[in-house]
Amino acid sequence: MTINNNSAKWMQLPRDVLVGHGVLEEIGDVCRDLKMKGNALIVTGSTTKNIAGKRVSNLLESAGCSAEMVLTCKATKEEVEKVMEKALEVEANFLLGVGSGRSIDLAKLASTRLELPFISVPTAASHDGIASSRASIVDNGISTSAQAQAPIAVIADTEIISAAPYRFLAAGCGDIISNYTAVLDWELASRLRNEYFGAYAAALSRMAARVIIECADSIKPEHETSARLVVKALVSNGVAMSIAGSSRPASGSEHMFSHALDKIAPKPALHGEQCGVGTIMMMYLHGGNWQEIREALKKIGAPVTAEELGIEDKYIIEALLNAHSIRPERYTILGSGLNPSAAEKVARITKVIN
Ligand SMILES: NC(=O)C1=CN([C@@H]2O[C@H](COP(=O)(O)OP(=O)(O)OC[C@H]3O[C@@H](n4cnc5c(N)ncnc54)[C@H](OP(=O)(O)O)[C@@H]3O)[C@@H](O)[C@H]2O)C=CC1
Ligand SMILES: O=C(CO)COP(=O)(O)O
Ligand SMILES: [Zn+2]
């Protein structure tokens, strides 16, 4: 039997990873350690500019760099081009993504295309893109997972991250717990389609989910220990994706459900919140312990129903019906798609809808 072995031959991982109270103040030392100097472009948002963007700018100036800022509003191809134009205009030598998933992904993809290094400075622990070499960008309305570069450094200040609205930390836990069904889907694709399966990346990914589920009782708002635990799991997820050379260890049918919701829901919830609810339903389809997933998310304070997502039942059903078509090349438990009665049944049995 031919072993399908197209694993990543070139695993890109961050060089310096700082996780702790006040580590933002060490950004100058990180730049010196990595020999990064000259002009910096800070990619941030209107809220996160005031939470960390301006501070980063001052710290870089004190370290002898110049720092310009560009504000982003959505993770689209056009925004990537806007960031690239700004980087060329200011003759940037390196970029920084300061904020949450959107700003970090835009800095990640723009810097990759410009062949410049980038530093990831998360202000919330809401997703596992903070250290990954993947960028999730919407291209012509379609959510795409682009291969990009890993950040050369991750500076995760738990003082800032633990002060973010707690729902971001809970969403980050949802994104990590989703590894369970992502790996089950990956194993299924390996058995049914002889797709490459990375045992190490899968084990790392499963471990992160297991740790979060086992620590669910101790993950609390405004606790830096909680922020540190979740950030380390998110970094670990990024490493697993880099080892696999794809988002397979962390993105399966539950993510396809979330991406489908992003397309149709009038007001989508946070990425990790939607992935958490998707994991409950996909674990049911896998015949697994969906109740354990649901209980852990509830303990953490993450949404487990459509109502808690702030999304009407009909969009949950429609997203379940469309999910398989989001990434047709990625085989999952959804197979060639659920029919309406099956979609209704899984959403009701798992209590996602009434
Ligand atoms: N590349 C990858 O591997 C992954 C990428 N993603 C992508 O990440 C995005 C989702 O990211 P997510 O973080 O969930 O949400 P978004 O980045 O879409 O939005 C988060 C919102 O919260 C605000 N915010 C961020 N930090 C703070 C804070 N400390 N206090 C108050 N508000 C804050 C942001 O402000 P502001 O407007 O200033 O930025 C923004 O308005 C999606 O595009 C998803 O596809 C998700 C998982 C993995
Ligand atoms: O969200 C991700 C992993 O948590 C990235 O996955 P996608 O490849 O589905 O964008
Ligand atoms: Zn995700």
ipTM metric = 0.95
Tokens found for residue 8 = 């990543």
In angstroms, the CA 316 to CA 318 distance is: 6
- Is 125 marked as a binding-site residue? yes
128 occurs within a structural domain:
yes
Cβ 165 vs Cβ 48: under 8 Å: no
Select from 128, 308, 98 the least CA-distant residue to 230.
128
Mark which of 161, 191, 222 sits at the end of a domain: 161
Q: For 50-137, where are the alpha helices, taking DSSP H only? A: 54-62, 77-89, 101-114
Judge if 85 and 148 occupy the same domain.
yes
> 33 and 153 share a domain?
yes
Q: Are residues 326 and 281 in the same domain?
A: yes
Interval between CA 176 and ligand 3 midpoint (Å): 7
Residue range(s) defining the domain that contains residue 288: 165-348
Q: Tell me, yes or no, whether 157 lies in a domain.
A: yes
> Given the DSSP bridges, would you call strands 118-122 and 134-139 parallel, antiparallel or unpaired?
unpaired
Q: Let me know the angle formed at the C-alpha of 128 by 198 and 121, rounded to the nearest 5 degrees.
A: 130
Q: Are residues 205 and 147 in the same domain?
A: no
Q: How many CB atoms lie within 10 A of CB 138?
A: 17
- Give the H/E segment covering residue 135: strand 134-139
CB atoms within 10 A of CB 202: 22
Same domain as 179, residue 137: no
Decide if 199 is inside a domain.
Answer: yes
Q: Whose CA is nearest to atom 8 of ligand 2?
A: 145
Provide the β-strand partners of residue 144: 137
- 203 and 87 assigned to the same domain: no
Residue 343 belongs to what H/E stretch? helix 340-349
10 Å Cβ neighbour count for 9? 6
Are residues 136 and 39 both part of a single domain? yes
Same domain, 84 and 112: yes
Q: At what angle do helices 179-193 and 253-264 cross, to 10 degrees?
A: 110
Whether residues 122 and 201 share a domain: the answer is no
Integer angstrom CA distances of residue 259 from 192, 209, 278, 329 = 24, 20, 10, 15
Nearest ligand to the CA of 238 is 1
Instruction: Specify the pLDDT at position 192.
Output: 97
> Which alpha helices (H) appear in 164-289, and where do they start and end?
166-177, 179-193, 199-214, 224-244, 253-264, 271-285
Domain assignment present for 81: yes
Whether residue 313 is annotated as binding a ligand: the answer is no
- Of 123, 146, 161, the last residue of a domain is 161
**How many domains in the chain?**
2
Ligand 2 atom showing the smallest separation from residue 255 Cα = 9
Determine whether the shortest distance from the Cβ of 242 to ligand 1 is under 6 A.
no
CATH number of domain containing 86? 3.40.50.1970
- Residue 142 is predicted with a pLDDT of 76
Residues 183 and 220 in one domain: yes
Q: Residue 263 burial by CB count (10 A; 0-12/13-18/19+): exposed, middle or buried?
A: middle
Q: Is residue 60 part of a domain?
A: yes
| Domain end residue (candidates: 145, 161, 177) | 161
Whether 115 maps to a domain, the answer reads yes
Ligand 1 within 6 A of 134 CB? yes
Domain shared by 151 and 173, yes or no = no
Choose one of 42, 48, 263 to mutate for the ligand 1 pocket test, by most ligand atoms within 8 angstroms of C-beta. Answer: 48
Predicted TM-score (pTM) of this structure: 0.94
Instruction: Determine, yes or no, domain membership for 9.
Output: no
104 is in an annotated binding site: yes
CATH number of residue 257's parent domain: 1.20.1090.10
Could you tell me if 265 and 280 lie in one domain? yes
Ligand 1 pocket residue status of 271, Cβ below 6 Å = yes
pLDDT along the chain (354 residues), means of 10: 56 94 98 96 98 98 97 93 98 97 96 98 96 89 84 98 97 98 98 97 97 95 93 96 93 97 95 98 98 98 98 98 95 98 98 96
SS3 134: strand
Question: Does some domain include residue 4?
Answer: no
* Residue 4 confidence (pLDDT): 47
Q: Specify the 3-state DSSP secondary structure of 179.
A: helix
